C-alpha cells in the first residue's frame, strides 16, 4: 500500500476495489479526518441525477461479498468479508445472540427483533415497521424498534444484505433503495460462521488496530480505539 487510505470513487468498481483493498470503508465522514467515501468521491458520483454511490450500495455488497450497516459511530460503513469476522467477534464479545440473551446482556426487545429477522430473512424496512414500528399492526409496546435495530447492527448480529427498489410499469427501478436485513451468518455463510469465534475478542481487537494503523498512520491510538469500540 503506497499511500494509506488513498483512493477516488468515480465508478462502482472503484468502491468495490476500495472495500477489498482497505477492509473498512465508512460511507460518511466521521471523527477520523479523511476516512470515508464522502471525502474520496467525485461530485458526479455523490451529487448527481445520474446513478452514483446511493445506487451502488447493493451491487457493491453483492460484488465484494461484504457487510454493510451502521457499524461505526452510528454511521454506515462497508466491511470486507475478510475483516468482518474480527469486527463481529469484538463487538459480540465472543457471544452468539442466544448466549448473550441467556446471560442477561440483551433485552427482550432486541431478542424479539433478532429472532424475527433470523426467521424471516431477508426482511426489508417496511416489514420491520409493520411488525415492530407501532400502529395497527405493530402495537404500541413495540415502538422504539429502531434503537434495537441500531444496536443489533453495532453488535454485528444484523447487517444490510442488499437494497430493493420499487419498479415502474416498465420494470425499471426508481426511488430510494429499501434496505433488506439479514444475519451475517446468512449473508456470508461458513466463511463467517467458522471464523467469527475462532479467536479471543482481544486478539480480534489487536488485528483490527493493526489494520487501522496501516490505513491511518496519523490517527491517535485513542481515536482508533474509540472508533472500533
pLDDT at position 141 is 39
Residues 4-18: pLDDT tens digits?
788 999 999 999 999
Average of per-residue pLDDT across 185-192 = 95
Alpha carbons 43 and 100: distance in angstroms, whole number: 43
> Cell digits for 69?
450497516
Residues 115-155: pLDDT tens digits?
999 999 999 999 998 888 754 444 443 457 889 999 999 99
Alpha carbons 163 and 178: distance in angstroms, whole number: 5
Alpha carbons 207 and 213: distance in angstroms, whole number: 10
Q: What is the edge-to-edge ordering of all strands in the sheet holding 123-124?
A: 123-124, 173-182, 159-167
pLDDT at position 174 is 65
Residues 169-180: pLDDT tens digits?
776 766 678 999
- Is residue 128 within 8 A of residue 118, CB to CB? The reply is no
Helix axes 108-120 and 145-154, enclosed angle (nearest 10): 70
Q: What is the edge-to-edge ordering of all strands in the sheet holding 24-26?
A: 24-26, 75-79, 67-72
Helix axes 108-120 and 125-132, enclosed angle (nearest 10): 140
Helix axes 201-215 and 84-92, enclosed angle (nearest 10): 130
Rounded to two decimals, the pTM is 0.91
Beta-bridge mates of residue 77? 26, 69
> Exposure pattern of 185-209 as b/e (b: 16+ CB <10 Å)?
bbbbeeebeebbbebebeebbebbe
Helix axes 12-22 and 53-64, enclosed angle (nearest 10): 50
pLDDT at position 2 is 44
Mean pLDDT over each residue of the chain, to the nearest integer = 91
Residues 54-89: pLDDT tens digits?
999 999 999 999 999 999 999 999 999 999 999 999
Amino acid at each position: 500500500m503506497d499511500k494509506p487510505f488513498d483512493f477516488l470513487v468515480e465508478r462502482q468498481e472503484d468502491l468495490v476495489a476500495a472495500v477489498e483493498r482497505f477492509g473498512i470503508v465508512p460511507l460518511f465522514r466521521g471523527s477520523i479526518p479523511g476516512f470515508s467515501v464522502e471525502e474520496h468521491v467525485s461530485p458526479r458520483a455523490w451529487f448527481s441525477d445520474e446513478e452514483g454511490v446511493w445506487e451502488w450500495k447493493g451491487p457493491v455488497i453483492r460484488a465484494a461479498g461484504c457487510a454493510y450497516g451502521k457499524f461505526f459511530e452510528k454511521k454506515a460503513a462497508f466491511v470486507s468479508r475478510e475483516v468482518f469476522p474480527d469486527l463481529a467477534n469484538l463487538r459480540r464479545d465472543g457471544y452468539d445472540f442466544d448466549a448473550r440473551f441467556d446471560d442477561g446482556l440483551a433485552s427482550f426487545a432486541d431478542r424479539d427483533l433478532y429472532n424475527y429477522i433470523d426467521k424471516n430473512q431477508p426482511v426489508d424496512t417496511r416489514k420491520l415497521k409493520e411488525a415492530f414500528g407501532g400502529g395497527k399492526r405493530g402495537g404500541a409496546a413495540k415502538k422504539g424498534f429502531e434503537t434495537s435495530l441500531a444496536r443489533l447492527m453495532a453488535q454485528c448480529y444484523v447487517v444490510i444484505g442488499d437494497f430493493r427498489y420499487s419498479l415502474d410499469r416498465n420494470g425499471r427501478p426508481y426511488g430510494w433503495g429499501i434496505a433488506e436485513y439479514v444475519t451475517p451468518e446468512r449473508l456470508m455463510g461458513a466463511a463467517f460462521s467458522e471464523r467469527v469465534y475462532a479467536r479471543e475478542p482481544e486478539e480480534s481487537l489487536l488485528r483490527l488496530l493493526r489494520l487501522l494503523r496501516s490505513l491511518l498512520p496519523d490517527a491517535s491510538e485513542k481515536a482508533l480505539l474509540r472508533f472500533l469500540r
